Structure 1
């Protein structure tokens, strides 16, 4: 069976030459074949139908088409070979590849007619910014290894890109990343497209995203309209999906970053580089197109909102805030207030209404950094103040610091009937004077003598005059001792020999 193209050539040559044999000689076929096709065409000039030949894969066409559709046109003939062999296929791998290619072509044609329709998305200058989160591995911190994420954004018209890194994807980190993006481009676009995390949409009703109230307040501060993509549909994100993928492949090193500060510095350098290169789609540099787009952006507010100054924390009644499982002090007047915490690799800065109020070194989990200047009273020393109640206690402590030390030492030693020692000291003060009593109390504290009568004995010893000491230079005189003969050492040496 000749192909349709060959049939057309045979008929055209016959109309010119009018001879079956001449056409057969030119086309390399028998003149009877030429006659059959010319007669089949008839006066209307219709070509003879081409009858398809049977294939060795026809019995397995249903199985092949089913697997092609299940895999979205991604299955290969090599993968299908084991399956069709088990089903009884005895043909070659080449025949199977042809059958799989035909099935994929038919599936793609069907998808083009019945599947999703794609069309270019065109954004005007100053209209759109697209943003999304991306994973960047882990980074070492004082609290141990933590997941590192990056907030990426791109302007829809100029293709200007920004990247900032964070160890969190909470709303505070989202607000900081968005504020950083606005400040980098020098303005605010009319609409900002987000994905659907809980920090953006708290839920969905009938396909409509219920926006997070915090995001609504942030949008009102910057005067932009927040928009969300379709749920579980990365293709609806547009350009930002490619930007995140490009950032992961071109910026994030295989071994990761050593610190958060290093990651942010690398991100800033990378953005300066890619924004200065010619974009393959616009054939212009994003940094140059941004100069054209910036006058159409809305002006930045005079200050960042509080939520965009760091992670928000509430000051507890201890005048401290908890950050990364560590505790940091703030001025006591801010108890119950909400503050913002910003952290780097080594420092923590706490702000209130845009003003820094405290700065601490970054601590490991479980540690605390307390500044005495943040509290109206001095820090406790751990020594409890004495609070006398009875007249005898007042009179005893009036003796001075010696009485204070004696009372604490005796109590720590577990002295029984300590109140009797106080009465004994007061009696001693009345009879022998306060100076001698204070000396006795000091000596008793030094040597740990807290028994009954010890104070009186010590006072008696202090009253007695000390014995006269003999000068060290005077030799000791011993009289009345018997005299013995003295021999020299030589006598002992001769005796040993």
Structure 2
């Protein structure tokens, strides 16, 4: 603008160039460009080596739907005679892809969910526990944004039934539709791009009053709510270098973490609704269908009665279950080489135990299914019943150990020996006698005079005060041994 203003003022190319501080040829070019109606602020395109191949680049991007890589394009146009570098090709491909995306951008109509209408679920990869893979069931109630996460060890249909039951009982009702992926447990086949539902998932949906729907294959954008739930759950629950979460010791710890995550995420203010999901859920529950009293158990396996020892029998093999289920009915099913036990609680159906399949005569019992054993050590602790016994036990732990071991070995005349130990304690101290009694208990020496021998040995082994050099005593040995040096002993004539 300064160049054009200088030219309008002077009417001379050279005078304007002198005022604007540039070459007069530059002034002439901008003046002619303005007279032709062009934009002087835009740079004029310069010819490039790839100009003759741009039509081929655009063709390749159009045919691939914008997915082809620049290295592949470079190989193709290089075979056609292009002599430029791959850097030139990458720039041309980036510009062509940007133009392609601008013309093929997918536009979404905002989805405004209605209360009580949609619930979505999806799977996320969970952390490995003891080398075993886990999955995260992630459910999302569309209107209230309520999230629910449960860890599982497989993605079979019975597991889906139990997770779906737990989700619906957590939200307090059943919405009209359930949206998920096209996995084999939900969609058994596709005919003319129409999904064919698995009959068993339809039975599960009818039990709860749900209509099962699936998204478009390979189109995660059609169910973005559950995808976001999976992403958030994996970010917070799966140990990574980002969240610095330590590895889980067992599956129960992962379950606790998922419960805590569900509580925390539903008590935070959602940035879209500006309210907590737990509060919105209380309002949405009025639009949900009532749940059946009993969960769908047809897919959970066969029923088994838990015995009083917290075990069930499957194919003549005993398997343990949590002791809290004693006397109740559970469902057992075989999944591969494992036995899965499902129990129905107030919160719905949930996996109670999982065992490796065993054979008759080899029961599978897990210690974690039973309460901690009572400490029986207290029954072996001596308790005085008379003054003589109390005086002996007052010596300390060595006396108690001697009494227990001597009684177990059937030692004779124990009472007189106990009285003897009390008398020795008055002479040599209770500590020394108790130490000797402890040594006798370890060595199994309970005969007559064994205690006195051990006591004498301990006292005799006491190290005397070491001799130190001083003004009154020197550590230098004497010379008396040298007085007879060179003198032959008597009777020796050699």
Q: Which residue of 2 aligns with 1:128?
A: 118
1:339-365 CA distance string (max 9 Å, x none): 72399x99956679x999xx9986542
Candidates 215, 222, 225, aligned match of 2:211: 225
Unaligned runs of 5+ in 2: 241-245, 305-311, 321-328, 364-494
Q: Which residues in structure 2 correspond to 1:413-424 (within 5 Å)? A: none
Candidates 48, 52, 66, aligned match of 1:55: 48
1:430-478 CA distance string (max 9 Å, x none): xxxxxxxxxxxxxxxxxxxxxxxxxxxxxxxxxxxxxxxxxxxxxxxxx
Q: Distance in 2 between matches of 1:204 and 1:347?
A: 31
Contact kept, 8 Å, 1:137 with 1:148, in 2: the verdict is yes
Partner SS, residue 301 of structure 2: strand
Change (3 A) 1:326 1:194: farther
Alpha-carbon offset, residue 290 of structure 1 = 2.1
| Corresponding position: 1:198 with 2:187 | no
Contact kept, 8 Å, 1:68 with 1:104, in 2: the verdict is no
Change (3 A) 1:17 1:100: farther
Change (3 A) 1:194 1:149: same
Contact kept, 8 Å, 2:127 with 2:239, in 1: the verdict is no
Candidates 243, 247, 266, aligned match of 2:233: 247
Alpha-carbon offset, residue 212 of structure 1 = 1.8
- TM-score normalized with structure 1 length: 0.54
1:371-409 CA distance string (max 9 Å, x none): 9xxxxxxxxxxxxxxxxxxxxxxxxxxxxxxxxxxxxxx
| Corresponding position: 1:169 with 2:155 | yes
Q: Distance in 1 between matches of 2:74 and 2:125?
A: 38
Q: Which residue of 1 aligns with 2:293?
A: 302
Q: Distance in 2 between matches of 1:129 and 1:17?
A: 75
Alpha-carbon offset, residue 229 of structure 1 = 0.7
Candidates 285, 289, 292, aligned match of 2:283: 292
Candidates 91, 99, 102, aligned match of 1:109: 99
Alpha-carbon offset, residue 23 of structure 1 = 5.4
Q: Which residue of 2 aligns with 1:261?
A: 252
Change (3 A) 1:267 1:355: closer
Q: Which residue of 2 aligns with 1:184?
A: 170
1:412-441 CA distance string (max 9 Å, x none): xxxxxxxxxxxxxxxxxxxxxxxxxxxxxx
Change (3 A) 1:314 1:305: closer
Max radius of gyration: which structure? 1
Change (3 A) 1:29 1:177: same
1:9-55 CA distance string (max 9 Å, x none): 7667767887766754565445565455545555x845589642123
Q: Which residue of 1 aligns with 2:469?
A: none
Contact kept, 8 Å, 2:122 with 2:180, in 1: the verdict is yes
RMSD of aligned alpha carbons: 4.8
Q: Distance in 2 between matches of 1:37 and 1:327?
A: 95
Alpha-carbon offset, residue 127 of structure 1 = 2.0
Contact kept, 8 Å, 1:136 with 1:148, in 2: the verdict is yes
Change (3 A) 1:370 1:222: farther
Partner SS, residue 245 of structure 1: helix
1:187-222 CA distance string (max 9 Å, x none): 222211011112111222222222222222222222
Alpha-carbon offset, residue 177 of structure 1 = 0.7
Candidates 213, 216, 239, aligned match of 2:199: 213
Q: Distance in 1 between matches of 2:288 and 2:149?
A: 19
Q: Which residue of 2 aligns with 1:273?
A: 264
Contact kept, 8 Å, 1:360 with 1:369, in 2: the verdict is no
Unaligned runs of 5+ in 1: 1-5, 330-337, 372-497
Contact kept, 8 Å, 1:327 with 1:367, in 2: the verdict is no
| Corresponding position: 1:312 with 2:310 | no
Contact kept, 8 Å, 1:11 with 1:37, in 2: the verdict is yes
